Amino acid sequence: MKDKRLHLYGADWCLKSTHLRNYLQSEWIEFDDFNVELDSDASARVRRLYNGNLKFPTITYGDEFLKNPSIAVLEEFLEKHNLKD
């Protein structure tokens, strides 16, 4: 079974990554934050999802993942997994 914790894979310079990070923090949602440019293991995990391509921001929870989600799509994902009040 995969890790049942919310993960955000992004980069510090990426505005969408920052936007998602800020949203999750403002909603008090616990998540692990990985910089795919500085963390080679995180980069490899993301590349496995996209046939070797590095695409971010990516959100994962267990076996499911979202590529570059809007806040509305992220909210649905969080509610589906009971991660948001």
What does CATH list as the number for 7-80?
A: 3.40.30.10
Per domain, the residue ranges of the chain are 7-80
Q: Are 29 and 21 in contact (CB under 8 A)?
A: no
The pLDDT tens digits for 22-67 are 999 999 999 999 999 999 999 999 999 999 999 999 999 999 999 9
- State the distance between the two ends of the chain, measured CA to CA, in whole angstroms: 25
- Indicate whether this model's pTM tops 0.75: yes
